């Protein structure tokens, strides 16, 4: 089994909240990457898992909530750990994320999405991602 990638650094004096998450890398026919715009940076479609929720179910639920779309998962990319600080809730997190390659399986529905879908060129993704593990997943895809 491959060694899990780790992004960010664990600071011994900081208390981290453990968080499971799952995300999907969707590449358009033109080679652009589907991203969700946050306040300042971008995220892959997906998000935090509910207790006992399978990563595949997390991706399906989050993509439906965020983008009002359905997704078909094609293959697994693996897992990564990301240490980060959230200014929104003033918390430090240790996120263990599962990543997939997938495709949208439907067209967008009328304005029921929580967030806007953005298509970024692969060369833009590296700088645009909030989480380094998201840029890593795009490189793996």
CATH at 89: 3.90.79.10
* Edge-to-edge strand list for the sheet holding 46-48: 5-7, 71-86, 91-104, 17-26, 46-48
* Amino acid 98: pLDDT: 98
Total number of domains in the chain: 1
Token pair listed for 130: 């909030």
β-pair partners for 96: 20, 81
Structural domain containing residue 49:
5-140
pLDDT in tens, the chain (141 residues): 456 899 999 999 999 999 999 999 999 999 999 999 988 899 999 999 999 999 999 999 999 999 989 999 999 999 999 999 999 899 999 999 999 999 999 876 666 778 889 999 999 998 999 999 999 999 999
């Amino acid at each position: 089994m491959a060694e899990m990638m780790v992004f960010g650094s664990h600071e011994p004096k900081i208390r981290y909240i453990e968080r499971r998450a799952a995300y999907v890398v969707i590449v358009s026919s033109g080679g652009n990457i589907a991203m969700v715009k946050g306040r300042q940076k971008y995220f892959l479609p997906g998000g935090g898992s509910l207790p006992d929720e399978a990563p595949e179910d997390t991706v399906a639920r989050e993509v439906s909530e965020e983008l009002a779309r359905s997704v078909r998962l094609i293959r697994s990319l693996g897992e990564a750990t990301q240490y980060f600080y959230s200014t929104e809730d003033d918390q430090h997190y240790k996120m263990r994320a599962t990543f997939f390659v997938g495709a949208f399986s439907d067209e967008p529905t009328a304005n029921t999405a929580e967030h806007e879908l953005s298509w970024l060129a692969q060369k833009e993704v590296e700088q645009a991602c909030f989480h380094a593990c998201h840029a890593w997943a795009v490189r793996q895809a």
